[in-house]
Amino acid sequence: MTKGKGELDAWRVRRQAWRWFGGISMLSHLRIYEPHPGLLAFYDGRVEGHRFADAPNWVDDGALSLGIASYALIAGTQAIVYDSHVSVPHAQRIREVLHQRGVTDIRVVLSHWHLDHVAGTEAFAGCPVIANARTLAHLRGRQTAIEAGTNHGLPAINPLILPDVVFEGQMTLDLGGMRIELIEANIHSDDATVLWLPERGILLAGDTVEDCVTYVGAPEDFDIHLADLARLQALGARWVLPNHGAAEVIAAGGYGPDLLAATADYIRHLQADDPRPMAEIIAPWLENGALRYFAPYEDVHAQNRARVQALAAN
């Protein structure tokens, strides 16, 4: 549905208020956890009855309804921020917290191009923004539409800040002597970047896995998704921290490696066009505690099945 001029103007005025007056109401449900020493999770969403805006919008429908976290790794005066969250005020709060902890050197890594992961990058002015080449291509190709609020709808992200450090395949960063590996994958989106901390066995997984099911945008790539999930499983992670998951699990350290296996199993069921309800498909993983049922993912599952069936019809 096309937005009327009055509605567009209201969104623009509201966004200007968030930018210039700190967006206090936007941050009323932002929670900050430290699931591991020196690893902060900035979590928002999964608050019953709370919405970012009354009208349909990607912040509520694609992020807060499912719960979303951005992460920050800290070592002394250095930090790596993994995704800039759903708004500039959220990102400003991340930067403020890091400053309070004595951080003066920040690098931002984007997990992929989707709006709920890049919306706040403007708040990290002066900081390198790192992404893989596919992420840069997606953002650059959609920049005009994203800044106009016509890509996935309102709110617009204007200005959209593009990555200025780009890699392909894999990249290694040093954070206070700790090795951080950036690994490209095609799961959920063809431009995923995960962060692997081999010395600590921690995988920051972005949207490559979610609790309780992954969102599939390209079912034609299922075989690639499964191969890349196997590649991530082979890393031997002890802890897996997704961007979309249960707050209490993230706060307690994250998920076990079974989250990767559960995601691969779910994709295989989609490949087979399993007609059973989502809860039945993932029942073994609910029973062993790898997943937790969360009703809003019923819509995600329905969208996944619709894309699978549309692909088969063609």
pLDDT tens readout for residues 56-108: 899 999 899 999 999 999 999 999 999 999 999 999 999 999 999 999 999 99
- In tens, the pLDDT along 104-153 reads 999 999 999 999 999 999 999 999 999 999 999 999 999 999 999 999 99
CATH topology classification for 5-313: Metallo-beta-lactamase; Chain A (3.60.15)
Q: Which residue has the tokens 């970012």?
A: 52
Contact present, 167 and 109 (Cβ < 8 Å): no
Which one has a higher pLDDT value, 18 or 167?
Answer: 167
Q: Which residue has the tokens 């549905």?
A: 1
Residue 204 Cα to chain centre, angstroms: 10
DSSP H stretches of helix in the chain = 5-21, 58-59, 88-100, 115-118, 133-148, 222-233, 247-251, 258-271, 278-281, 283-287, 297-313
For residue 241, the SS3 value is strand
